[in-house]
Amino acid sequence: MQAASPQTAPPKAGTPLLEVQDLHTSFIVGEGQTVRAVDGVSFVVNAGETLAIVGESGSGKSVTSLSIMRLLPKKIGKISKGTIRLRGRDLVPISDREMRNVRGNDIGMIFQEPMTSLNPVHTIGQQIAEVVIQHQKVSKSEGMKRAIEMLEVVGIPEPARRAAQYPHEMSGGMRQRAMIAMALSCEPSVLIADEPTTALDVTIQAQILDLMRNLQERLGMAIVFITHDLGVVAEMAQRVVVMYAGQVVETGTVEEIFTRPLMPYTSGLMQSIPRMGAEEKTRLQAIPGYVPLLTKLPSGCRFRTRCAYAEERCATSEPPLEQLENGRSVRCIRWKELDLPTRASA
């Protein structure tokens, strides 16, 4: 495991690895109409750091990750603007062939549903070995050896026996581990995890999150963790990007986002989940209404139709993402005058 790629020492913690700048991704919906599923998204992830992208369905968080990986559905989805820099190199203009290389070697990805990335007709060992052989040009037997090592690293008992099994012979938690093993087999410097534990039971989720943290510590990876689960965010991330209807609406450290949200949507999210072990039961503060369709966005601020603090001027023009100090940013023209509630203190 350690000796895999001696030429690239683990990057120093804190160096920017992945920089997404002004990313726009559009989709064709129906006759000639396009929507911007991702509309001007920017963020930076540093080595050894976990950045959480939080949002509900339709927020554009998954499309952002698919754009980075160049796994958008061909013909209907494409990046229309922006840069995606990995260690300073822009990935947007490179060829598909070069991108394939990047995907295996530099960026790994794990999904919510492992069966979408595992091939049902090959054994787990063959699939991981295949990745290693393709990207690191080692022999077949060396590849298999490395695959078994990786299964051990992700905590699969009896890795040699498991390597000979097919995905359907494994439980959901096992498959998720196998997929993580595959994503990590080339020691990527950036790992994109799109709802990697959402389909799992909590006791299995706890195992997987623990595993990801340990591996990050050992390998110094940067992790982009896409999730809707604020508990997982609090546990895994150092910094948070909140997305709504295709745009970034707030960024900050986990501490800042949880204790002092500046955007009414973030504040609303914080209040809408029940607190475990609360002294008194209080009614949940639900955000009224629904996430707007990208084809029917309201004028001005996209959140204003559901916002308790909206005023007339919120409808007139789209608020910019205002940059504050230390990477904190907010998209709300009223943020200075609002003192938003967050989760009631324990």
Partner 1 sequence: MTKPVIPPNAASGQQDALLTVTNLKKYFPIKGGVFNRVINHVKAVNDVSFSIKRGEVVGLVGESGSGKTTVGRTVLRLEEPTDGSIVFDGTDITRLSKPEMRRYRKRMQIVFQDPYASLNPREKIRTMLGHALAVHHIGRPEEREDRIVKLLEQVGLTGDYLDRFPHEFSGGQRQRIGIARALAVEPDFIVADEPVSALDVSIQAQVVNLLEDLKAEFNLTMLFIAHDLAVVEHISDRVIVMYLGRVMEIAPTRKLYRSPNHPYTKALLSAVPNPDARARPDRIILKGDIPSPINPPSGCVFRTRCPIAIPDCAKVIPVPTEVSPGHFSACIRTAPQGAALSTPELQDAP
Residues lying near partner 1 in the complex (CB under 8 A) are found at: 56-57, 157, 171-174, 201-207, 209-210, 228-235, 254, 258, 268-270, 272-278, 281, 283-288, 290-291, 306, 343, 346
Least distance in Å: CB of 263 to partner 1? 13
Q: Which of 2, 67, 10, 19 is nearest to 39 (CA)?
A: 67
Least distance in Å: CB of 270 to partner 1? 8
State how far the Cα of 164 lies from the Cα of 152, in Å rounded to an integer: 14
Cβ-Cβ contacts under 8 Å for 248 (sequence gap 6 or more): 40, 41, 42, 43, 241, 242, 321, 329, 331
Nearer to partner 1, 171 or 317 (CB): 171
Written as one string, the DSSP assignment of 166-229 is -GGGS-HHHHHHHHHHHHHTT--SEEEEESTTTTS-HHHHHHHHHHHHHHHHHH--EEEEEES-
Nearer to partner 1, 15 or 285 (CB): 285
Nearer to partner 1, 121 or 202 (CB): 202
Least distance in Å: CB of 203 to partner 1? 5
For residue 21, the cross-strand partners are 83
Least distance in Å: CB of 143 to partner 1? 27
For the four alpha carbons of 204, 206, 209 and 212, in that order, the dihedral sign comes to negative
Q: How many Cβ atoms from other residues are within 10 Å of residue 131's Cβ?
A: 23
Nearer to partner 1, 58 or 319 (CB): 58
Nearer to partner 1, 59 or 123 (CB): 59
Do the Cβ atoms of 110 and 48 come closer than 8 Å? no
Least distance in Å: CB of 10 to partner 1? 25
Least distance in Å: CB of 172 to partner 1? 8
Give the strand pairing for 89-90 and 77-86: antiparallel
Least distance in Å: CB of 161 to partner 1? 15
Nearer to partner 1, 75 or 283 (CB): 283
Chain mean position to CA 337: 32
3-state DSSP assignment of residue 135: helix
Nearer to partner 1, 229 or 322 (CB): 229
The pair phi, psi for residue 27, each rounded to 5°, is: -125, 145
Nearer to partner 1, 61 or 70 (CB): 61
Distances 173 to 114, 206, 210, 229 between C-alpha atoms, Å: 9, 11, 13, 18
Do the Cβ atoms of 328 and 256 come closer than 8 Å? yes
Least distance in Å: CB of 52 to partner 1? 12
Least distance in Å: CB of 210 to partner 1? 6
Nearer to partner 1, 132 or 240 (CB): 240
Do the Cβ atoms of 321 and 302 come closer than 8 Å? no
Q: Report the first-to-last Cα separation within the chain, whole angstroms.
A: 43
